[in-house]
Amino acid sequence: MDGGADVQVNNAHGGAGSGGAMGVQIQHNRRLPDFLQSVNLKYVKLGYHYLISHLLTLCLVPVMIVILIEASQMNPDDIRQLWLHLQYNLVSIIICSAVLVFGSTGYMMTRPRPVYLVDYACYRGPDHLKAPFHRFMEHSTLTGDFDESSLEFQRKILERSGLGEETYVPEAMHYIPPRPSMAAAREEAEQVMFGSLDNLFANTSVKPKDIGILVVNCSLFNPTPSLSAMIVNKYKLRGNIRSFNLGGMGCSAGVIAVDLAKDLLQVNRNTYAVVVSTENMTQNWYFGNKKSMLIPNCLFRVGGSAVLLSNKSADRRRAKYKLVHIVRTHRGADDKAFRCVYQEEDDAGKTGVSLSKDLMAIAGGALKTNITTLGPLVLPISEQLLFFATLLIKKLFNSNVKPYIPDFKLAFDHFCIHAGGRAVIDELEKNLQLLPIHVEASRMTLHRFGNTSSSSIWYELAYTEAKGRMRKRHRVWQIAFGSGFKCNSAVWEALRNIKPSCHSPWEDCIDKYPVKIVT
């Protein structure tokens, strides 16, 4: 076999709903025994995972068979004696039944109420707000605020960013010179928030007066009255609504807002909560020449989402998802992490958001902490045993054994990684050992809509639905990073086979995707 051809199996656009076909290619850089060994190891691991996951069932089945055999061999006298024994212990049976009933009632009354995601909507801007690369660079040149070095830097960032030609920038940035103002920023906020909410109310037939909880998050734009008050005023929400406005919490604030809404739904029965996530660019465009502060100009784009949550048991039938877990990690106690995404003025007094060169390393550390908490909640016992076994070997024998990276593909069917930038997606794909199909939604969202901050994970979920990949009991992992520095995770379980809602942001372009990203 030494001189034999090598075989590699490739899956073009593999995965559910992608329509890809399996192909076999003959290559000369890998030996056939190595390939067979890797295939064998794969099936050994799958067999181990199945054995551990079904260990209890495999142990109980023989016991049940033995009990049934013994019961079938009992004679009528034995059965009569058993019945008499139960009659003489009637008081004990009644007491046990009463304890069981009261215990079950107490559990049902005190257990956390399930939180359902009825539906959500994402904003898609009008065509006249699109900013293709040539127009972006032309406007940057004509404003006269950037020197040649800064213009070249922005051009290179755009080319390598993973963004496409159809992302949106706010109205004020389309003028020469740009017209950032409080009025323009309010107009952008209204267009995004009201556009998302109009679609949400139309799709769910929920009346604004039925909303009992409202949570709005926007990091950089916090006017008075607040954004949440703008929504209350627009839709004439009821006077006793519990309204919250989260500011300065970065791109991971969408998960924080859902967590807050979840807690409020535990104490307010039979009501709806709306979570609105957005970012505002009009007054936060940087017009200086500091390189670390120019990057947000190239990556951030207009976008927003509105999510309807419910704790009503009747809504389970029509809801899309059930919230399973939320895990939040905050690294703000570390000075480097605290300052890695920082709003400040440059030497010329111009305000912008500075991104540290240590950002990816800090994000990796925050992710590690987050998944250390999330892993035991979601991973099958087989993966947990492998992880703790390698950790124990490393501690006891002080060996050079590499830490075992759990296979999160066994816990989740879909991944919605915050589309913060191409490097973020690449790093998580590598560190979590994901396949291209698992990060497709994130890459395509970055290409079509850019970094829309805290709402990007909802555009990604909408992409998965538009591709027809979401099936009943599938689990989704939303991962978001934000200033502070924070890493937050939300886990959802699909309650049915899900089709995209009306006015999906992908409804007129999903057939064009996935597209090849130029490296």
Establish whether 451 is a catalytic residue.
Answer: yes
At 223-234, the pLDDT tens digits run 999 999 999 999
Q: Give the pLDDT score at 101.
A: 78
Does pLDDT of 329 surpass 90?
yes
- Structural contact between residues 326 and 446, judged by C-beta atoms closer than 8 angstroms: no
- Point out the catalytic residue in the list 199, 217, 245, 251: 251
CA–CA distance, 228 with 242 (Å, rounded to integer) = 10
What pLDDT band is residue 387 in, cutting at 50, 70 and 90? confident
Token representation of residue 143: 């404003």
- Point out the catalytic residue in the list 311, 447, 474, 488: 447
Establish whether 330 is a catalytic residue.
Answer: yes
Range 116-512 has CATH code 3.40.1390.10: no
Establish whether 122 is a catalytic residue.
Answer: no
Q: Please compute the mean of the pLDDT values over residues 191-216 and round it to a whole number.
A: 97
Among candidates 382, 377, 378, which has minimal Cα distance to 54? 382
What pLDDT band is residue 73 in, cutting at 50, 70 and 90? low
Establish whether 54 is a catalytic residue.
Answer: no
Q: What's the per-residue H, E or C state across 478-512?
A: EEEEECCCEEEEEEEEECCCCCCCCCCCCCCCHHH
CA–CA distance, 262 with 222 (Å, rounded to integer) = 23
Which position has the token pair 């886990």?
Answer: 491
Token representation of residue 478: 């939303």
- Point out the catalytic residue in the list 122, 330, 340, 438: 330
- Point out the catalytic residue in the list 418, 438, 474, 488: 418
At 16-59, the pLDDT tens digits run 333 333 333 333 344 444 443 444 444 455 555 555 555 666 67
The three-point CA angle 501-505-511 to 5° equals 90
Radius of gyration of the chain (CA): 27
- Point out the catalytic residue in the list 414, 416, 487, 488: 414
Establish whether 418 is a catalytic residue.
Answer: yes
CA–CA distance, 477 with 9 (Å, rounded to integer) = 28
Q: Look at the pTM and tell me if it is higher than 0.85.
A: no
The residues spanned by each domain of the chain are: 6-44, 68-110, 116-512
- Point out the catalytic residue in the list 217, 284, 451, 488: 451
Min mean pLDDT across 19-23, 149-153, 431-435 is at: 19-23
Does pLDDT of 519 surpass 70?
no
Q: Give the pLDDT score at 468.
A: 95
CA–CA distance, 188 with 179 (Å, rounded to integer) = 12
Establish whether 414 is a catalytic residue.
Answer: yes
Tell me how far apart the 2 most distant CA atoms of the chain are, in Å: 101
Give the SS3 label for residue 312. Answer: coil
